[in-house]
Amino acid sequence: MNNDNTQSDKQQNQRQSNFSFIDNELKQIREFAQKAELRGRLDTRYACFQARLTAETALKWIFKADPELSLPYNTMLSNLINDAGFQKIAPIQAKRSLTIIQKYGNLAAHSEHAILAQDSILVIKQLHSFLFWLHRTYFDVNLQSDFDEKLIPDAGDIAKTSRTRFLSSNKSTKTKRRSSKKPLMPKKPTKKPIKQSWLFRKPK
């Protein structure tokens, strides 16, 4: 894992997220979703592409976990969404959310047209809706989690977080440097003292 990804993971762990509710069994899916959320306003194309990857990964998990479903040979997102078994068990809202995610994910991957921030935020909201349904269906039927658009950071939030982290790290480094310094020892004389021979002369 490169330094950029490591830094991104640390940022996700240190901030509030719309996807914190996702169970640790789906840790990879949670991390994928949080990466999309983190870039929702800053890099809309990346956010939409990442949301599509998250949805596809989550759907594959559903097909493997649900005994009523059989993973098709072709596991592209469109095939998973339109699978007869999945169409039977999934509610209309989950299927609608997946359709929106697929649409903008495909635009992000294959179109040169700019993706607006409002569209990227819509995709992240639909990703939250789909993953919320997944979690209530397969983990916790009583789960409550409302989508909060304010948790999608903008450039100012990132700069503020980065500055706070830098100041904290800098302070910690200075503290370590102080504690690691060795106490100063008195310097040893570099020259031998001059022997005052006249003090030892015998009187005549």
Rg value, the chain, Cα? 30
Q: What pLDDT tens digit does each residue of the chain (204 aa) get?
A: 455 554 444 444 456 899 999 999 999 999 999 999 999 999 999 999 999 999 999 999 999 999 999 999 999 999 999 999 999 999 999 999 999 999 999 999 998 889 999 999 999 999 999 999 999 999 998 999 999 999 999 866 555 554 545 555 566 555 566 665 565 565 555 555 544 544 444 454
Collect all residues with Cβ–Cβ distance below 8 Å to 81 and sequence separation of at least 6. Answer: 59, 95, 98, 99, 102
For residue 112, the model assigns a pLDDT of 87
User: CB of 19 within 8 A of CB of 51?
Assistant: no
CATH assignment of 20-159?
1.20.120
Q: What is the pLDDT of residue 168?
A: 56
This model's pTM is above 0.85: no
Domain ranges within the chain, ordered by starting residue: 20-159
Question: In 3D, which of 12, 9, 30, 10 has the Cα closest to residue 145?
Answer: 30
Give, in order, the Cα–Cα distances in Å from 8 to each of 32, 49, 193: 11, 17, 63
The predicted pLDDT at position 172 comes to 57
pLDDT at 10: 44
Concatenate the DSSP letters of all residues of 134-193 into one string. HHHHHT-TT------GGGS--HHHHHHHHHHHHHHHHHHHHHHHHHHPPPPPPPPPSSPP
**Rounded Cα–Cα distance for residues 96 and 148 (Å):** 20
Which residue type is seen at 28? Answer: Q
